[in-house]
Structure 1
C-alpha cells in the first residue's frame, strides 16, 4: 500500500505562496515544529519548481497550479451534506496548490499531521484559499481547515481526523448504516457499519471512534473480531468487498442483525 498523502488547496484565483511567510506562520502556529525554508541543496529531492519547507527532518512540497482541479461531482455532493457552499466553492475556484510530504514509505499519521499543519499555515497566509481536498476523498472549507489544523499535533484522539475521514450515513434494509471515506489511506480499508439497534447519532459516534482508533493504530481489528464497550454491547467485524459501494474493500461491522 502506498502511504503517499496528497492534499489540494483550492484557490479563488491562482497564487504562489510566499514560502518565507509560510514558514513564519507555521512556526507561530506550531512552535514545537522546527521549520524553515529549505536550502537549494534540497531541491534535488523534488521537482525543480516545487518550493520546499523543511519541518524537522521532513520536507513539505508546495506546488502552485494555475488551473482548477478536475471536476468530481461525487466528492462535492458528499461535501455538501455538511458544507452547503461546497459546490459553489468548487465551481468558482481557478487555481490550486498541491501539498505533500516528500519521501518514500511515509507513515500515514505523521505525514497527515505535518501536511495538515502546513495547509493551516498556507490558509493563514494565502487569502485566495477557499477549500481543501484531502487525498481525493474529503473536501472541507478553508475556514474549517484553518480552525481545526491548529490541532494537527494534538495527542490521540484529539487530532483533526474529521478533515481526513468522511462519515456518510445511509439507510439499509434492516435499519441504518454509515460508511467512511478516506480511512483506507491509514488502515487499508473503509468502515461500513449497519445496525437496527443504534440511533443515527450513536452510530456515527461509534464509527467515528473506531475510525480514529484505526487512524492511530492501523488495521488492528482482524477479520472475524468482535468489539464493544462491554459484554452487552458486541459488534462483529469482517473483511469483505462492499455489496453497497461497488466492491469497496471494507471492514463490515454489524450488531448481529444486518
Structure 2
C-alpha cells in the first residue's frame, strides 16, 4: 500500500491560527477525497483522527463559530487523580499558546468535559485572551480561576490551569 505524507507548513503560513486551520482542514479533506487509501490525519503532531472522521467534519471548515470542526485540531483527554477528575487538551497551544489543564473534585465528568470544551472552543476562536488570574463560569458558585503555570502532572507542559475550590 502506498504511503503519503503531506506537510502543510506553507499553506496558510501568513494567516492567524484559526483561518490557517480552516484552510488546511478543507484542503486535507479534499485530498482525502481523492485518496481513498488514506487512513488517518495527524494534526500538529498531537492529534490523530481517522480519515473517515476528517472527511465527515472537514466540510464544516468554514462554518461560523461554534460549528467549525475544532475537535479535529484539539483533543480533550480526561484523567483521574485520587478523588479528583480532570482533563487536559492537546493541540490548543497552536491557537492559544498553551494547553488547558482542568481539575475538579465536585463536577461530574460530563459537565467537566463540557466546560473544557467550551473554554477550548473560545480560545480557538479568540486566541490567548484569557490572562493569568481571569475567571470564567456561569455564576460565583461555578466560577473557575485560570492560572498560567507549568503542569505538575504533564512534564512541565505550559498550561492554563483551572481548578474548583474542592481541588
TM-score range, shorter chain: over 0.9
Q: Contact (CA 8 Å) 1:174, 1:195: kept in 2 or not? A: no
**What residue in structure 1 maps to residue 110 of structure 2?**
201
Question: C-alpha distance in 1, partners of 2:71/2:48?
Answer: 10
Rg larger for: 1
CA drift at 1:106: 2.7
Question: C-alpha distance in 1, partners of 2:127/2:134?
Answer: 15
The equivalent position to 1:223 in structure 2, one of 120, 123, 132, is 132
Q: Aligned-pair RMSD on alpha carbons?
A: 1.3
Question: C-alpha distance in 1, partners of 2:46/2:55?
Answer: 19
- TM-score normalised by the chain length of structure 2: 0.95
**What residue in structure 1 maps to residue 155 of structure 2?**
246
The equivalent position to 2:98 in structure 1, one of 189, 200, 216, is 189
Once the two structures are superposed, residues 191-243 of structure 1 have per-residue CA deviations (whole angstroms, 9 ceiling, x without a partner) of 00000111111111110110000000011111011110123311111000000
Query: Number of aligned pairs?
Result: 167
Q: Contact (CA 8 Å) 2:151, 2:158: kept in 1 or not? A: yes
Q: Which runs of 5+ in 2 are unaligned?
A: none
Question: C-alpha distance in 2, partners of 1:193/1:208?
Answer: 11
Once the two structures are superposed, the pairs formed by residues 81-120 of structure 1 within 5 Å of their partners are 94-102=3-11, 104-120=13-29
- TM-score normalised by the chain length of structure 1: 0.62
Question: C-alpha distance in 1, partners of 2:10/2:65?
Answer: 21
Q: Which runs of 5+ in 1 are unaligned?
A: 1-12, 15-93
Q: Contact (CA 8 Å) 2:11, 2:20: kept in 1 or not? A: no
**What residue in structure 2 maps to residue 142 of structure 1?**
51
Question: C-alpha distance in 2, partners of 1:206/1:104?
Answer: 31
**What residue in structure 2 maps to residue 33 of structure 1?**
none
Query: Secondary structure of the residue that 2:5 maps to in structure 1?
Result: strand
Moved over 2 A (4+): 94-106
Question: C-alpha distance in 2, partners of 1:100/1:152?
Answer: 18
Once the two structures are superposed, residues 153-197 of structure 1 have per-residue CA deviations (whole angstroms, 9 ceiling, x without a partner) of 010111000000000000123410000000000000100000011
**What residue in structure 2 maps to residue 175 of structure 1?**
84
